[in-house]
Structure 1
């Protein structure tokens, strides 16, 4: 139950972290999530307050429905997406400015890139049910009312989604001083062309996935294997990095690097690290997904 102001603005202010997280974990898009919250607020405000028994639960229900509609529409667009599709990166901690969304994410592990990519393999209904039940703990009756299914049907969907996620879930180490050290050594090796140094930091089955959305150059297919990933990054030394600056950040709870070219955001790297070795590198270059990183952090 909401403990404070039960007005629409009060409810959405108090529970913004929960509501933003629900929308983001269902859609994988920061921009869509903020649009969903705005639309949901208007829908919530249009309902007579005395008809709402639990404002928090009702707001979550409205947001979930809008996020589910948004995801269904987005999935049709993603069928025509050029190259791999990655979720829009979310700045979850940094020493620089622009950390607003980070304070609005309640359960950090659930917004990891690894988790979001697994959720992307679920159907929209399975994803919404999984997020509401497994991440936020809503009861089956509430979820059933939200997605217009019976509680028995929702139990089946939840069980299927949970099994699917657990089978495909990847291990990862959240950002820490140790993971920052690994990433720092990786870029030092990359910018000096130290192929052996890169190989020492990469797991044998490491994968590199880039999302350019067909708007900028990026690998059209994932790059598998330490040797291939190392060769790709060792090329940085050959092409050089003119007028490029890098800033460490925590992105989707993982160690990340923001890369700016001539003061303009060029890409965001996220690193998946297990037992001190890099198992996955994600590079988001689609400019539509980088608008929140336009201003370089202060040195």
Structure 2
């Protein structure tokens, strides 16, 4: 009983940090709560013996729980064609369970992570995400991270570095994500999705070229009602569109725009070329979806 009480006290002591870590790993407050509850179940069944560092021990357990959840999520996503990663819903930045600003806000909100960055974070492998979050956000050593994912410290360092480069690329692309070109591409996708022939004609240059098609009448007729699966994206930092299947890009639509009109749409489906492109799927606002 004394050992169980001691475990409960240590868990309560570190619970906010565990929730912050799980939240940053999973991007969902509900899933973070589930991870923390699962962590307590594992802790309560453990034989602690002479535990010297409860914080590190609890961090290891919650990290492994999150890793399992991320791997399960990734497996589910591979079975779902064309689905975007779920958009995280952060907690109210002004409150915390204790009534004050807590580690969740410091870990997730203070660095002003935008939607594009969160989407990229969600496309990392579970091991990359874990290595980045534990090291860059929670200052866990690569030696400890390597132990959690059964890899060497050097391998853990490489995983975090790879994740950091992807996230930095998304940050550099954030200005491009708000460019006028994005507005035009988003409007084109919305008009195509809704079968709005008149709106397509308005967006397309009279001499627009798409493959063998020429002229806005022919191109608008082809695209009307056909873009249901296409998603707004950044391709090498430029606003574009992409079609995803089983979570992977299978086609990219590059737009040439002059004087506010689309003059050319190039469609690339070559797997070799697509692999060399940096493709970031973007979420769209309600206005852009209409």
Q: TM-score if structure 2 supplies the norm length?
A: 0.54
Match of 2:274 in 1: none
Moved more, 19-28 or 108-117: 108-117
Match of 2:180 in 1: 204
Q: Indicate whether 1:121 and 2:130 are aligned.
A: no
Q: Indicate whether 1:84 and 2:91 are aligned.
A: no
Q: Is the contact between residue 232 and residue 283 of structure 2 (CA under 8 Å) also seen in structure 1?
A: no
Question: Offset of 1:83 from its aligned partner?
Answer: 4.1
Matches within 5 A, 1:231-246: none
Match of 2:139 in 1: 137
Aligned-residue Cα RMSD (Å) equals 3.7
Deviation per residue, 1:201-222 (Å, 9 max, x gap) = x7524567xxxxxxxxxx8644
> Following the alignment from structure 1 to structure 2, what is the Cα–Cα distance between the partners of residues 171 and 18?
31
* Cα separation, partners in 2 of 1:203 and 1:158, compared to 1, 3 Å: closer
Match of 1:149 in 2: 151
What runs of 5+ residues in structure 2 fail to find an aligned partner? 187-227, 235-281
* Cα separation, partners in 2 of 1:47 and 1:121, compared to 1, 3 Å: same
Question: Offset of 1:85 from its aligned partner?
Answer: 2.9
Question: Offset of 1:70 from its aligned partner?
Answer: 0.5
> Following the alignment from structure 2 to structure 1, what is the Cα–Cα distance between the partners of residues 29 and 88?
6
> Following the alignment from structure 1 to structure 2, what is the Cα–Cα distance between the partners of residues 20 and 100?
15
Match of 1:57 in 2: 56
> Following the alignment from structure 2 to structure 1, what is the Cα–Cα distance between the partners of residues 140 and 22?
15
> Following the alignment from structure 2 to structure 1, what is the Cα–Cα distance between the partners of residues 100 and 35?
14
Match of 2:166 in 1: 164
- Three-state SS of the structure 1 residue aligned to 2:180 is strand
Moved more, 111-120 or 37-46: 111-120
Q: TM-score if structure 1 supplies the norm length?
A: 0.52
Q: Is the contact between residue 141 and residue 151 of structure 1 (CA under 8 Å) also seen in structure 2?
A: yes
Q: Is the contact between residue 133 and residue 158 of structure 1 (CA under 8 Å) also seen in structure 2?
A: yes
* Cα separation, partners in 2 of 1:137 and 1:148, compared to 1, 3 Å: same
Q: Is the contact between residue 91 and residue 102 of structure 1 (CA under 8 Å) also seen in structure 2?
A: no
Question: Offset of 1:67 from its aligned partner?
Answer: 0.4
- Three-state SS of the structure 2 residue aligned to 1:52 is coil
What runs of 5+ residues in structure 1 fail to find an aligned partner? 174-201, 209-218, 226-278, 284-299
Question: Offset of 1:116 from its aligned partner?
Answer: 2.0
* Cα separation, partners in 2 of 1:144 and 1:282, compared to 1, 3 Å: farther
> Following the alignment from structure 1 to structure 2, what is the Cα–Cα distance between the partners of residues 65 and 171?
32
Matches within 5 A, 1:231-270: none
* Larger fraction in helix: 2
Match of 1:248 in 2: none
Moved more, 114-123 or 126-135: 114-123
Question: Offset of 1:38 from its aligned partner?
Answer: 0.6
